[in-house]
Amino acid sequence: MDVEALSVRRHMIGLLLRVTFRSLYNRGQKAVDVAPIRLTITVLLIALIWCALYFMFELVFRNLQRTPLEATVALPLIFNFFFMAMLAMLTFSNAIIAYGALFGKDESAYLLTSPLTPLDVVTLKYVESLVMASWALVLLGLPLMISLAGLVDRSNQALFYGLFLVFFLAFIPIPGALGLLLAWLAARVIPRRAARVFAVLIGVAIMVSIFWGMRSLQTSDDAMEIWLRSFQSRMRFVRAAFLPNNWVASGIDHAIRYQFTEAFLYLGVTIANALFLSWAVVRFVARYFDGALDRAMTGHGEGVRYGAADSGGISRLLFIYLPKPLRLIATKDLRVFMRDPMQWSQLAILFGLLFLYLSNMPTLRIQLSGLGWQLMMPFLNLCAVSLILATFTCRFVFPLISLEGRKLWLVGLLPIRRNRVLWAKFSFAMTITLAVAMSAMVMSLIVLELNVFWSITHLTVTASICFGLCGISVGLGARLPMYDELNAARIANGLGGTTNLLMSVVLVAIVLTGVGVATWRSRFLPFTETPAVSSIALCVFSVLINLIVGLLALRLGGNHFAKAEV
Amino acid sequence: MTTDDSPAVSLQGVRKCYGSKVAVDNLTLTLQRGELFAFLGPNGAGKTTTIKMIVGLLQPNIGEVRVCGHHIGTNGLAAKAQLAYVPDQPFLYEKLTGREFLYFVAEMYNLTIAQRDERIANLMARLDFSEYIDHLTENYSHGMKQKVVLAAALLHEPTVLVIDEPMVGLDPRSIRTVKELFVERTRAGGSVFMSTHTLDIAEAVADRIGIIHHGKLVAMGTLDELKARARQEHSLEEIFLGMTEADDGC
């Protein structure tokens, strides 16, 4: 081995990037070869979302332009908040991805045993996490930035498209570098479970922000003008001169006013800081990488010991209605779920946000002057709960059967009919979704003081939606499984997962249309009066369709699962 | 010290802890050039931790590790240029073909295109993986992955080959080839540090054997020396069981 030659070209970042691009190319090629329809649909859907966002933002900006005084105040605030939120979200997502890439994957270990410097490895992972963490937000943020060009003369629009794009891209490395630093700190301070801790922290941060935001938005008896001043005063911190979001927002604000000297100054400040921060953080992390990696690999000590209650503990009570073999499977699933913070934390975040929203409803002081709003508000809450349930079942319930793939030999040997395993999965999913969704709906109904008929209707529809969605996810999970895949997120994103998502959304849309029409027709009825028979029939139809679809999906999946060969 | 007469691997008084658990305790051993060393021990004895310290993935709390005279902590790049490491779970980029992966490794170690092509052809023929070399590695079985990873490790003809459980997933013909490759490597002046549970292989090819238990090196020497120490003329399996059970108080 020629050590001297190696020492001459110590930095091999070019080679590493080429390999990464080659992997990406192969991935794309495979997607084109194996699943062209899926790829086309994905691209079309992204384009659709992108265009919808573009036209929505453009409409907002054009309306704002009609009232120049409000636009002068609102635009800088909107951009300051937007980039502030981006700064926080991108920092955390970069931290999670950088941590996983640097301290949690075999690739880092492999590269570090090769004649590569830690600087090469850290630089590669920084670039990767920057792209992976930011692409979705960039994709969704670009319509906002580009639609801004609609505010200027048509003759100058080309310049503005470019300028706003540069502003946006120059900003991205700042949260990227902060995220990398956070990942390194996590490896040093809280090794092993850092990614999970990050996920929980993000959730808590979002909830606190929303809680604080809603408190800030609540109106008081004071005049609107006083409230507005007070609100602006509370929001002043986002305009602090040292915050990156303020550089970008100020630069854009100046550009819109054709003050190009100031705009380019802010752009220069953003680029300079992004480059310096990236350079400094990558060097720092590379310099102290060995110690952090060692700590991440060994800092867990002997690991957490879990007690194994043979009776299942609390799980036994939760699934007491199930026969023993099914209870054992459901208990096992619940244990796995509760011991994986990535799973329960996402459920907690989704429903935590919903509970925050519901608990803040009275403080919004919306004038519920007519019965129409009294019915519409709970209906909107039902929509929110249903959509969250659809998200949850697609992400967590659908992969349950696929994840049994490698253990199907065990499940197959159990002294029960194989399709009964599906009922165990279904019971597990129903128990969790029912517990959370029903508590949210009960809270909503109590807060809004809805009458008995509509309270019972909403609770029954919620329970039936849980049934329908869990049935679809378990049934399709068994009909379109990915037994070779161990990653639940990939299973949920596969062809079966996408089909499941579409089916769930269609079911929710049908059910909510039924209940929505009934609600709309009844909105001006006296509070104590029972709705018309046709409205009641629509609600019954909504419940029945959930039950029928759920049962059909379970039957379809059960038949397939009984004959499955792995 | 970076001379050719320095030992291939040297661990001096190495200790490594995972929190309060001592994984490796006061380990001193030397692997000479041209030597094939088999590192044995029960599950959780400290074999993989030791290997990770040799290749620079873990840092000892106490003691020092050198590869060909280079301190792995302070002069890691020079040390790693002499090393090849095959972990117990072989790593491959899933979205690269076996050939693309081997090209990547060859470029990382500065092989010329002629050297690269010749060595890949040779290893491919001997380990018999030409059939799937141009397929994405995500479709490989464990044994296929192991063959490609072994080929990648041998591609740059390392001075020290560190390998954790080399035979897992390999078919009998491949096991024989791998044994031959190891012996050839040592005859050419290279060294092999092999951790294994397959005692027959250790018995057949190792020049020296070390047994680690509860993080401590409980025995080291040639097979004959170990037999003499155990005062019996039995197989390595019986010696191994005797030494590890005795310490457990069984």
pLDDT class of A365 with cuts at 50, 70, 90:
very low
A7 and B78 in contact by Cβ < 8 A?
yes
User: Which of B20, B91, B95 is closest, CB to CB, to A110?
Assistant: B91
Dihedral angle of Cα A81, A87, A90, A96, to the nearest 10 degrees: -130
A299 and B80 in contact by Cβ < 8 A?
no
Distance CA A566, CA A404 (A): 10
Distance CA A94, CA A138 (A): 13
A6 and B17 in contact by Cβ < 8 A?
no
Distance CA A399, CA A242 (A): 45
Question: Rounded to a whole number, what is the distance in Å from the CA of A114 to chain B's nearest CA?
Answer: 6
Q: Which residues of A touch B110 (CB under 8 A)?
A: 2, 5-6, 9
Same domain assignment for residues A344 and A289: no
Q: In this predicted model, which residue has the larger pLDDT, A264 or B166?
A: A264
Largest CA distance in chain B: 57
B19 and A298 in contact by Cβ < 8 A?
yes
Same domain assignment for residues A272 and A377: no
User: Three-state DSSP class for A150?
Assistant: helix
Round the average pLDDT of chain A to a whole number and report it. Answer: 80
B57 and A2 in contact by Cβ < 8 A?
no
Q: In this predicted model, which residue has the larger pLDDT, A139 or A200?
A: A139
Domain-embedded: residue A212? no
In B, minimum Cα distance to A16 occurs at B104
> Is-contact A385 A462, C-beta < 8 A?
yes
In A, minimum Cα distance to B59 occurs at A294
A301 and B21 in contact by Cβ < 8 A?
yes
> Is-contact B32 B44, C-beta < 8 A?
no
A109 and B87 in contact by Cβ < 8 A?
yes
Quick check: B21 contacting A, CB < 8 Å? yes
- Please state which of the ranges A17-21, B92-96, B166-170 shows the lowest mean pLDDT: B166-170
Range with the largest mean pLDDT of A2-6, A73-77, A132-136, A436-440? A436-440
> Is-contact A153 A67, C-beta < 8 A?
no
The whole-number average pLDDT for the span B61-80 is 90
Q: What does the pLDDT read at residue A484?
A: 76
In A, minimum Cα distance to B55 occurs at A113
Please list the alpha-helical segments (H only) found in chain B: 47-54, 76-81, 98-108, 113-127, 142-155, 172-187, 199-205, 223-230, 236-248
Quick check: B159 contacting A, CB < 8 Å? yes
Distance CA B199, CA B243 (A): 14
Please count the other Cβ atoms lying within 10 Å of the Cβ belonging to residue A217: 12
> Is-contact B179 B170, C-beta < 8 A?
no
User: Three-state DSSP class for A360?
Assistant: helix
Please list the alpha-helical segments (H only) found in A288-340: 289-298, 314-318, 324-338
Domain that holds residue A479: 323-562
Q: Which residues of A touch B4 (CB under 8 A)?
A: none
B56 and A302 in contact by Cβ < 8 A?
no
Quick check: B93 contacting A, CB < 8 Å? yes
- Please state which of the ranges A6-20, A28-42, A515-529 shows the lowest mean pLDDT: A6-20
Distance CA B191, CA B185 (A): 7
Domain-embedded: residue A223? no
Please count the other Cβ atoms lying within 10 Å of the Cβ belonging to residue A317: 9
Distance CA A298, CA A303 (A): 10
pLDDT over 80 at A476, yes or no:
yes
Q: What does the pLDDT read at residue B49?
A: 92
Same domain assignment for residues A428 and A291: no
Distance CA A281, CA A91 (A): 13
Same domain assignment for residues A286 and A386: no
B89 and A6 in contact by Cβ < 8 A?
no
User: Which of B57, B73, B109 is closest, CB to CB, to A109?
Assistant: B57
Total domains in the fold of chain A? 2
Tokens for B235, please give them. Answer: 């197989």
Same domain assignment for residues A269 and A327: no
The whole-number average pLDDT for the span A45-63 is 84
pLDDT over 50 at A2, yes or no:
no
Same domain assignment for residues A289 and A392: no
Q: Which of A6, A15, A25, A114 to probe by mutation at the B interface, max B CB count within 10 Å?
A: A114
Q: What does the pLDDT read at residue A1?
A: 46
Q: What does the pLDDT read at residue A312?
A: 56
pLDDT over 70 at A200, yes or no:
no
Q: What is the DSSP string of A505-556?
A: HHHHHHHHHHHHHHHHHHTTS-TTSPPPHHHHHHHHHHHHHHHHHHHHHHHH
B109 and A291 in contact by Cβ < 8 A?
no
Q: Which residues of A touch B96 (CB under 8 A)?
A: 19, 22-23, 26
Domain-embedded: residue A113? yes
Q: Which of A506, A507, A478 is nearest to A491 (CA)?
A: A478
B78 and A106 in contact by Cβ < 8 A?
no
Q: What is the percentage of chain A residues whose pLDDT exceeds 90?
A: 19
Same domain assignment for residues A271 and A346: no
Q: In this predicted model, which residue has the larger pLDDT, A351 or A476?
A: A476
Same domain assignment for residues A379 and A266: no
pLDDT over 90 at A280, yes or no:
yes
Same domain assignment for residues A349 and A485: yes
Q: Is the dihedral of CA B116, A26, B142, B131 positive or negative?
A: negative
Q: Which of B55, B61, B77 to probe by mutation at the A interface, max A CB count within 10 Å?
A: B77
Q: In this predicted model, which residue has the larger pLDDT, A7 or B250?
A: A7
Q: Is the dihedral of CA A103, A108, A112, A113 positive or negative?
A: positive
Domain-embedded: residue A225? no
Q: Which residues of A touch B158 (CB under 8 A)?
A: 1
Mark which of A282, A298, A314 sits at the end of a domain.
A298
Q: What is the percentage of chain A residues whose pLDDT exceeds 70?
A: 80
pLDDT digits (tens, 9 = 90+) for A233-249: 666 666 777 888 889 88
Domain-embedded: residue A205? no
Distance CA A246, CA A342 (A): 33
Q: What does the pLDDT read at residue B38?
A: 93
pLDDT over 50 at B67, yes or no:
yes
Label residues B133-171 b or e (16+ Cβ within 10 Å = b): beebbeebeeebbbbbbbbbbbbbbbbbbbbbbbbeebe
pLDDT digits (tens, 9 = 90+) for A382-422: 898 898 899 889 988 998 888 887 777 777 777 777 778 88
Domain-embedded: residue A59? yes
Same domain assignment for residues A372 and A432: yes
pLDDT digits (tens, 9 = 90+) for A440-471: 888 888 877 778 888 899 999 999 999 999 99
Q: What stretch of H or E contains A94?
A: helix A68-103
Question: Rounded to a whole number, what is the distance in Å from the CA of B49 to chain A's nearest CA?
Answer: 10
B77 and A113 in contact by Cβ < 8 A?
no
Q: What does the pLDDT read at residue A512?
A: 92
Domain-embedded: residue A107? yes
Q: Which residues of A touch B150 (CB under 8 A)?
A: none
pLDDT over 80 at B235, yes or no:
no
Range with the largest mean pLDDT of A47-51, A270-274, A361-365, A432-436? A270-274
**Binding-site residues on chain A for chain B (CB distance < 8 A):** 1-3, 5-7, 9-10, 12, 15, 19, 22-24, 26-27, 30, 106-107, 109-110, 112-117, 290-291, 293-294, 297-302
> How many CB pairs (< 8 A) connect A and B?
104
In A, minimum Cα distance to B79 occurs at A115
B57 and A115 in contact by Cβ < 8 A?
no
User: Which of A3, A109, A301 is closest, CB to CB, to B81?
Assistant: A3
Q: For residue A191, which phi and psi values (nearest 5 degrees)?
A: -65, 165
The whole-number average pLDDT for the span A477-500 is 83
Quick check: B61 contacting A, CB < 8 Å? no
C-alpha A102, offset from chain centre? 23
Please list the alpha-helical segments (H only) found in B128-232: 142-155, 172-187, 199-205, 223-230
B110 and A2 in contact by Cβ < 8 A?
yes
Same domain assignment for residues A277 and A424: no
pLDDT class of A278 with cuts at 50, 70, 90:
very high
pLDDT over 50 at A285, yes or no:
yes
A112 and B57 in contact by Cβ < 8 A?
yes
User: Which of A6, A107, A298 is closest, CB to CB, to B91?
Assistant: A107
Round the average pLDDT of chain B to a whole number and report it. Answer: 87
User: Three-state DSSP class for B195?
Assistant: strand
pLDDT class of B139 with cuts at 50, 70, 90:
confident
Quick check: B96 contacting A, CB < 8 Å? yes
Q: What does the pLDDT read at residue B249?
A: 41
Radius of gyration of chain B (CA): 18
Q: What does the pLDDT read at residue B1?
A: 44
B95 and A6 in contact by Cβ < 8 A?
no
The whole-number average pLDDT for the span A109-135 is 88
Q: What is the percentage of chain B residues whose pLDDT exceeds 70?
A: 94
* A492-496 long-range Cβ contacts below 8 angstroms, 24+ apart: A492/A394, A492/A395, A492/A396, A492/A398, A492/A399, A495/A35, A495/A38, A496/A398, A496/A402
Q: What does the pLDDT read at residue B169?
A: 80
pLDDT class of A105 with cuts at 50, 70, 90:
confident
Tokens for A71, please give them. Answer: 């636009």
Q: What does the pLDDT read at residue A461?
A: 94
pLDDT digits (tens, 9 = 90+) for A203-260: 676 667 666 666 665 555 555 566 666 666 666 666 777 888 889 888 888 888 888 8
Same domain assignment for residues A332 and A475: yes
A115 and B108 in contact by Cβ < 8 A?
yes
User: Three-state DSSP class for B30?
Assistant: strand
Domain-embedded: residue A218? no
Q: Which residues of B touch A110 (CB under 8 A)?
A: 87, 91
